[in-house]
Structure 1
């Protein structure tokens, strides 16, 4: 089953839904690994991931171990990439799709990457940090700035990597 209406003369996603989901999972895993670089090089380190893990475990971020924070960090990248994939698949049926990047419609791709980036930033700032920041709330401004940079890098890397990855599939 192909996503969209490629058979009707309209250029949309040219991949079966299972293949598209696989591409998104692989891209999420790759970009999640790539994000380890800014996470370990910034002053606040993995604190955003500790805050997110604190929300899942209902503990203080200081009590969250590094292994759990890393798992949550990488799990978030996978879920965000799948969310991107769902957004692109959905938008491919309603937005112009005449221009594509290796079969990925350009406008849905850009809107999907930007939308998911904004969502993960907004969710962290409005939900995770205020509710689960605990002992690190005093550093909220620095942690949020780091999260903004990390979210931007995630969205940009995903937007660049997906069109490359589909050529290998």
Structure 2
């Protein structure tokens, strides 16, 4: 079982999502098309072409996605910790639910973008879809890795 109250756990996930979202600015901005997924997601929200999405909206979508993904991770871990073995833990975070939560949410974020957002809302960016999706795979991997490493450290401050 998770060793934290759900309110504490939710706070940890929100803080982790915010920090990891900020950290993800680095790989997204250093890749050629790295920040384009945020523009595509913004295009989905505004029903416009990604080229017409403003930078502030793309940044808000990027950071909002990191927060939502971290909360989704938290819900998965809380749920799985009820039904899966929790004998091994990282500072009170059950290891198996933690690893499954990180892997599952990272994979979900990648596939949601690659299979739904990009094909539907890619607009003018569809010409570079293969490269954008490949770079998004790296970003999703970095998100999962950073979340996996940061959560057990963050809970020590509770």
Measure how far apart 1:63 and its partner are. Answer: 0.3
Aligned to 1:23: 12
Name which of 52, 57, 62 aligns with 1:63: 52
Aligned to 2:64: 75
**Unaligned ranges ≥5, structure 1:** 1-11
Aligned to 2:146: 157
Name which of 31, 36, 40 aligns with 2:29: 40
Question: Is residue 135 of structure 2 the alignment partner of residue 134 of structure 1?
Answer: no
Measure how far apart 1:96 and its partner are. Answer: 0.8
Aligned to 1:125: 114
> Which structure is larger by alpha-carbon Rg, 1 or 2?
1
Q: CA RMSD in A?
A: 0.5
Aligned to 1:8: none
What secondary structure is seen at the aligned counterpart in 1 of 2:83? coil
State the TM-score, normalized to the length of structure 1: 0.93
- Which structure shows the higher helix fraction? 2
Question: Is residue 135 of structure 2 the alignment partner of residue 146 of structure 1?
Answer: yes
Indicate the structure whose relative CO is greater, using CA pairs within 8 Å and at least 6 residues apart. Answer: 2
| CA displacement, residues 94-147 of structure 1 (integer Å, 9 cap, x when unaligned) | 111100000000000000000000000010011000000001100001100111
**Unaligned ranges ≥5, structure 2:** none
Name which of 10, 14, 20 aligns with 2:3: 14
Measure the CA separation in 1 of the matches of 2:113 and 2:37: 8
Measure the CA separation in 1 of the matches of 2:89 and 2:56: 39
Number of equivalenced pairs = 158
State the TM-score, normalized to the length of structure 2: 0.99
Measure how far apart 1:46 and its partner are. Answer: 1.3
